[in-house]
Chain A
Amino acid sequence: MTAQPQDTRTEGPGTPGTEVLRVEHVAKRFGAVTALTDVNLRLDQGEVLGLIGDNGAGKSTLLKILCGFHKPDKGRIMVMGQEVVLKSVDHARSLGIDAVYQDLALIDQLSVYHNMFLNRERVYWPLLNNRVMKRLARQYLDEMGVQIPSVKVEVAKLSGGQRQAIAVARSVYTDAKILLLDEPLAAMGVKEAALILDLVSDLKRRGNVSVIIIAHNYGQVLQVCDRVNLLQGGQITFDKRSADTSVAELTEMVVAEYRRALEERQRAEGKRPA
């Protein structure tokens, strides 16, 4: 009655190319809670990987391990073929791994261009070279196809999608090679989501940035990702190219999981006295 999750991670499909990131047997527990049991994952140059899974499946934990925020209890992480121990977020960033969180780390009170150049300002000492920063920010956002009314507006004035786009643009602009996007499409309208999907497609076309997207909307994931991984119960239980799977298949797999959980609950409740 439940669809058996396909486990193809040992020789998963994917675009052939240089491997930029490889995760082997990573496990992580927080006290009594086991967040990740055995995660194996890889990411190729210029690839966009969709990471889906239920709430609590360990997506965010995995993301925080990859960006250097948490340290894994077990397992190895390889960046550009070299095994690394990520010591901190800054260390991960220096290796080209950058995460864009939902809270985005943007300063609401500052303009778009000041946010884009925060801590990397162009200076005409002792003054900020606002003219150059404005021009570069405009130019860069145009190149990436990010549309905002003006780079001079405060970030607080922008919509959720525009803010996300600015955060992504900032990461890419600062030489991120592996971009981790944490639910970039959450709480976003259709138009907003399209903005981000366009942005990711554009990155993909350029090919020098590899992306892992955590997302919930399978239609959007399939539209923009080259490959989809499903995280269930702390491990990757499904790894297919987007072309080889469908929204129906992904939905069925997750629905099956819900169904199992529901049945367990009902069994447990049945046993309990009313």
Chain B
Amino acid sequence: MSEITEPRAEAAVPGGPARTGGERPPWLEALRRGGTFLIQQREASVFVVLVALVIYFWLSAPDFGTKLNFINLTQGIGSAYAIVAIGEVLLLVCGEIDLSVGFIWALAPFLMHYFIDFYGIPVPLAILFAWACGAGIGLINGLIRVVLNVPSFIGTLGMSFLLYGLMLVTSNAEAAAIPPRATGFFQEYFGAYAWSEIIWAVVLVAIFHTVLTRTRWGLYTIAVGGNFTGAAESGINAGKIKIGNFMITGWLGAVAGIMEAFRNNTIDPSAGGYTPMFYAVAAAVIGGTALAGGSGTVLGALLGMLVLATLTDGFNLKGISADPFNIILGIAIIAAMVANVYLTRLRRAGRT
């Protein structure tokens, strides 16, 4: 008896009564419908921005349209970061965050190197073990969150320092070479080959976009982040969902870290860190994921990351220093968040 929900009733019918007088030319009507469709597809607005940026740089920077440049653009930020962003989207949707993923990224190639060079484990198994360690760290992150009830922001912050320390201690803070047995086939397929990172990123994005939108796991991830009590009352094991998503994120961090080590042809203690995580969250937000939980899109995060990669690359080619890039990035994140909030309200009201 406390609040009046009456105004909601108005919004019950999407679209509402048609406000068009009928005098509009058909092309304008088509444009309006197209616009409505674009706003309703969460990924569409960032896709439009991406296309616009590509066209702009293509026209204004002569080297932008070359094959070599597209390889540059898609490797690194465009794909390894996007792989991390997949995990962050899943976590943000279920109401969590993982700050430590970039340190899993740094540790994983060292683990692979130890397994191969110190324990003589065959390369494919060593890669699998390193991946499993990433997932295992995610498991610990999840248990700290769910069982010990520590907010993930704090738990994974602690994990970041812990992993960084572990990596520095075990490696003596020195870079290691790619194990000779891993060069060739594995190095090429897991990162060094010109298009391999983007192919991995696209495949993983396709898989996890499907997981989030079309499977039980995705449905529960949304439910847990959208209405924790409601999800629990419906009998969903919220803890399991959260821990699982931490594990997926940890695994993806290991995948991306090993990939980047192969691509850079060195196992570097200064790799990873907080940067991939911050970029991943930025890309997730630009792509349409709300930090409040309950909504988000993996595909949008990939597009968001490609926007960031295109900006970085385009600025480089135009000879603009890296410094203003941060200004653009900052404005882009804030603008994306504002648009996200505003568009969500529009979509909810069904007036788009």
Name A residues whose Cβ lies closer than 8 Å to a Cβ of B: 89-90, 103-110, 114, 118-119, 121, 123, 126-128, 130, 148-150, 153-154, 156-162, 183, 186-189, 191-192, 216
Closest CB in chain B relative to A103 CB, distance in Å = 8
A216 cross-chain contacts in B, Cβ below 8 A: 1
CB distance from A122 to the nearest CB of B (A): 10
Closest to B349 in A: A157
State whether A107 touches B233 (Cβ < 8 A).
no
Distance, CA A90 to CA B12, complexed state (A): 33
Contact between chains at A162 and B348 (CB < 8 Å): no
Q: Which of B1, B3, B226, B230 has the most CB of A within 10 A?
A: B230
Q: How far is the CA of A158 from the CA of B219 in the complex (A)?
A: 19
B residues in contact with A148, CB < 8 Å: 12
Q: Which residue of A lies closest to B237 (CB)?
A: A119
Interface positions of B (Cβ within 8 A of A):
1-6, 8-9, 11-14, 210, 214-216, 219, 222-223, 225-227, 229-231, 233-236, 294-295, 348-350
Known: A109-B295, A127-B214. Is A191-B9 also a contact (CB below 8 A)?
yes
Judging by beta carbons under 8 Å apart, are B11 and A127 in contact? no
A149–B14 CA distance with the chains assembled, in angstroms? 8
* New A-B contacts (15) at CB < 8 Å, excluding given A105-B227, A109-B226, A159-B5: A90-B235, A104-B230, A107-B294, A110-B222, A121-B216, A121-B219, A127-B210, A149-B12, A153-B14, A157-B350, A159-B12, A162-B12, A187-B5, A189-B6, A216-B1
A-B interface, 4 closest residue pairs, ranked by CB to CB distance from nearest: A160-B5, A105-B230, A159-B9, A109-B226
Q: Tell me how far the C-beta of B63 lies from the nearest C-beta in chain A, rounded to whole angstroms.
A: 43
Complex Cα–Cα for A154 and B227 (A): 14
B-side contacts of A107, CB under 8 Å = 222-223, 226-227, 230-231, 294
CB pair A105 B234 closer than 8 Å: yes
Say yes or no: A157 contacts B5, CB within 8 Å: no
Closest to A99 in B: B233
Q: Which of A108, A119, A188 contacts B227 (CB 8 A)?
A: A108
In the complex, which residue of chain B has the Cβ closest to the Cβ of A108?
A: B226
Chain A residues, CB < 8 A from B6: 160, 189, 192
* CA of A59 to CA of B216, assembled, Å: 37
Some 22 contacts from A to B, beta carbons below 8 A apart, are A103-B229, A105-B227, A106-B227, A107-B294, A109-B225, A109-B226, A110-B219, A114-B219, A118-B223, A118-B236, A123-B216, A127-B214, A127-B215, A157-B11, A157-B348, A159-B5, A162-B12, A183-B1, A186-B1, A187-B3, A189-B9, A192-B5
| A127 CB → nearest B CB, Å | 5
| Contact with B219, one of A105, A128, A160, A192 (Cβ below 8 angstroms) | A128
Query: Is B215 in contact with A128, judged by CB distance below 8 angstroms?
Result: yes
Q: Which residues of A contact B216 (CB under 8 A)?
A: 121, 123, 128
- A150 vs B295: C-alpha distance in the bound complex, in angstroms? 20
> A192 CA to B8 CA in the complex, in Å?
11
Chain A nearest CB: distance from B293 CB in Å?
9
Instruction: Please report the C-alpha to C-alpha distance between residue A104 and residue B8 in the assembled complex, in whole angstroms.
Output: 16
Nearest neighbor of B213 in chain A, beta-carbon distance: A128
Q: From residue A254, how far is it (CB to closest CB) to chain B in Å?
A: 15
Interface centre among A89, A119, A121 (most CB of B within 10 A): A119
Min Cβ gap A179→B in Å is 15
Residues A160 and B1 in contact in the complex (CB < 8 Å), given A106-B230, A118-B223, A119-B234: no
Q: Does A159 lie within 8 Å of B226, measured CB to CB? A: no
CB contacts (< 8 Å) of A159 on chain B: these are: 5, 8-9, 11-12
Distance A48 CA – B256 CA, assembled complex (angstroms): 60
Taking CB atoms, residues of chain A closer than 8 Å to B348 are 154, 156-157
List chain B residues, Cβ under 8 A from A153. 14, 350
Q: How far is the CA of A183 from the CA of B2 in the complex (A)?
A: 12
Q: CB-CB < 8 A to B1: which residues of A?
A: 183, 186-187, 216
Q: Is the CB of B229 within 8 A of A105?
A: yes
User: In the complex, which residues of chain B have a beta carbon less than 8 angstroms from the beta carbon of A90?
Assistant: 235
Q: How far is the CB of B209 from chain A (nearest CB, A)?
A: 12
Cα separation A186 to B5 with both chains bound (whole Å)? 10
**Residues on the B chain within 8 Å of A187, using CB:** 1-5
Chain A's closest residue to B7 (CB) is: A159
Distance in Å: Cβ of A106 to nearest Cβ of chain B: 6
| A159 nearest CB neighbor, chain B only | B9
Chain A residues with CB under 8 Å of B222's CB are 107, 109-110
* B8 CB contacts on chain A under 8 angstroms: 158-160
Question: Taking each of B4, B223, B231, which has the highest tally of chain A beta carbons within 10 Å of its own beta carbon?
Answer: B223
Q: How far apart are B227's CB and chain A's nearest CB, in angstroms?
A: 5
**Does A108 lie within 8 Å of B294, measured CB to CB?**
yes
Write the nearest CB–CB distance from A189 to chain B, whole angstroms. 5
When distances are taken between beta carbons in the complex, the residues of chain A under 8 Å from B14 are: 149-150, 153, 157
| Nearest-Cβ distance from residue B170 to partner chain A, whole angstroms | 38
